[in-house]
């Protein structure tokens, strides 16, 4: 077998492989092939294996049927307030008709880009800068509607349009930053003022409650102290009346209390009460007055009264009044006194308080005369007096 035959067999094998390649075509999933036969559209091949006529059928284009994402460069757009902003857009589209996408437009990607730019300028031109920055959803909806309507005849469906970035000029950005800073400072000042206000209100409420509680405590303490003093005075009063003290004992106690009237650094003048002479007369009679038969000081036997055994549980038997009830009663009495003072225009006459039952004023007893002392009517004899030599007082 000569070399010519080998060359012929090799050429035949190559031709067979070419024929096989042009006859059998395997189309991937989500891909479509546009087939032309002798220069005219024949059919569209979907995913799978297909048989073509060699040298008659030709693949015009391969179209990807998956959703595509296209990002366009920033486009300068003028707003309604004559400000130029650069806007980046992102388009999500899907080819739904491969034949129209190939034969209705030469380059549908370029067509979508130019259509997006013109539609974006129309939409942004009716809005100012603030609306442009805050109305992205509205702009996206208008762009999608305009693009979907225009690209529908190309066999392309626009699924979504997004504004990736809106860049105003640098001067506008600086002004916006200053405005936002001023707004944040204003909000911070308002929040600070609200906090100070609430703090002052809470502090005032706390001081009010504290003052009320202190006043209530002082009132209850005063009521309890008054009750204790009342009970002590009553017990002393009862003890005095049970012991039946004489005039001599009262005069002695009076002299013991008398030096306390002169105590104090602010006292410049000491006024001696008029009852001092009576007290001294009583003390003189108790210490040196009278005859030998009468008692010299101390209590008379017939005047002394046995008070009886002291009750050790006297404090346990007495109970204090409830401070709340006493405070309420004191408030009622104060209100009643205020109303009575308001009703009466003229001051009431002073009436000497009546003495309670069992209270007796100390009577000044005349000095007793001994049986041997001469009477005051006898001539030549001075009137009888006490040990101090003073004349007895007339009853």
**Domain boundary, last residue among 168, 192, 227:** 168
In a domain, 220, yes or no: no
**Domain boundary, last residue among 143, 168, 193:** 168
In a domain, 41, yes or no: yes
- The predicted pLDDT at position 135 comes to 84
Across the beta sheet with 68-78, what order do the strands follow?
Answer: 68-78, 84-95, 156-167
In a domain, 336, yes or no: no
- The predicted pLDDT at position 280 comes to 63
pLDDT string in tens for the chain (395-residue length) = 567 888 878 888 888 888 888 888 888 888 999 999 888 888 998 888 888 888 888 888 899 999 999 988 888 888 888 888 888 889 999 999 999 999 988 888 888 888 888 888 888 888 888 888 888 888 888 888 888 888 888 999 989 888 888 888 888 888 888 888 899 999 999 999 999 999 999 999 999 989 998 998 888 888 888 888 888 888 887 877 777 777 667 677 767 776 776 676 666 666 666 666 666 665 566 555 444 444 444 444 444 445 455 554 544 454 555 666 766 776 777 677 667 766 654 444 444 444 444 434 344 444 444 334 343 344 444 444 443 334 444 33
In a domain, 110, yes or no: yes
- The predicted pLDDT at position 165 comes to 84
Mark whether 34 and 114 lie in a shared domain: no
Range of the domain at 146: 66-168
In a domain, 114, yes or no: yes
In a domain, 157, yes or no: yes
- The predicted pLDDT at position 380 comes to 43
Mark whether 94 and 140 lie in a shared domain: yes
Mark whether 84 and 98 lie in a shared domain: yes
Mark whether 50 and 84 lie in a shared domain: no
* pTM across the whole model: 0.45
Give the CATH number of the domain where residue 109 resides: 3.30.479.30
The residue whose two tokens read 């000044």 is 364
In a domain, 282, yes or no: no
Mark whether 143 and 57 lie in a shared domain: no
- The predicted pLDDT at position 92 comes to 92
Mark whether 95 and 164 lie in a shared domain: yes
Mark whether 121 and 145 lie in a shared domain: yes
Mark whether 74 and 39 lie in a shared domain: no
Mark whether 125 and 160 lie in a shared domain: yes
Mark whether 164 and 73 lie in a shared domain: yes
Q: How many structural domains are present in the chain? A: 2
Maximum C-alpha span of the chain:
207
Mark whether 42 and 99 lie in a shared domain: no
In a domain, 223, yes or no: no
Mark whether 70 and 57 lie in a shared domain: no
**Domain boundary, last residue among 115, 148, 168:** 168
């Amino acid at each position: 077998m000569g070399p010519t035959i080998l060359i012929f067999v090799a050429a035949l094998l190559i031709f067979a492989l070419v024929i096989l390649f042009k006859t059998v075509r395997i189309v991937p999933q989500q891909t479509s092939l546009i087939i032309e036969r002798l220069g005219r559209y024949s059919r569209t091949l979907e995913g799978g294996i297909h048989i073509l006529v060699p040298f008659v059928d030709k693949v015009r284009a391969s179209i990807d049927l998956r959703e595509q994402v296209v990002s366009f460069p920033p486009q300068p757009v003028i707003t309604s307030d004559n400000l130029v902003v650069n806007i980046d857009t992102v388009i999500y589209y899907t080819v739904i008709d491969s034949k129209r996408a190939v034969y209705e437009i030469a380059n549908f990607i370029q067509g979508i880009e130019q259509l997006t730019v013109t539609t974006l300028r129309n939409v942004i031109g009716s809005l100012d800068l603030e609306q442009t920055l805050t109305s992205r959803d509205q702009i996206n909806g208008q762009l999608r509607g305009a693009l979907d309507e225009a690209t529908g005849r190309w066999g392309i469906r626009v699924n979504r349009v997004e504004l990736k970035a809106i860049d105003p000029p640098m001067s506008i950005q600086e002004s916006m930053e200053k405005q936002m800073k001023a707004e944040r400072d204003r909000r911070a000042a308002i929040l600070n003022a609200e906090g100070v206000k609430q703090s002052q209100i809470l502090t005032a409420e706390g001081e009010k409650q504290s003052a009320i509680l202190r006043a209530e405590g002082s009132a209850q303490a005063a009521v309890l102290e008054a009750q204790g003093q009342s009970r002590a005075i009553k017990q002393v009063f009862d003890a005095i009346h049970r012991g039946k003290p004489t005039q001599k004992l009262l005069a002695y106690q009076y002299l013991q209390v008398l030096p306390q009237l002169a105590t104090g650094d602010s006292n410049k003048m000491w006024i001696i009460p008029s009852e001092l002479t009576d007290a001294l007369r009583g003390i003189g009679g108790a210490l040196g007055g009278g005859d030998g038969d009468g008692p010299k000081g101390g209590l008379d036997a017939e005047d002394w009264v046995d008070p009886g055994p002291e009750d050790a549980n006297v404090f346990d038997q007495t109970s204090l009044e409830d401070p709340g009830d006493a405070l309420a009663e004191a408030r009622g009495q104060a209100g009643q006194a205020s109303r009575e003072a308001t009703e009466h225009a003229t001051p009431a006459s002073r009436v000497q308080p009546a003495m309670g039952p069992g209270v007796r004023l100390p009577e000044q007893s005349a000095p007793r005369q001994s049986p041997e002392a001469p009477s005051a009517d006898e001539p030549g004899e001075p009137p009888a007096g006490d040990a101090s030599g003073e004349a007895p007082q007339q009853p």
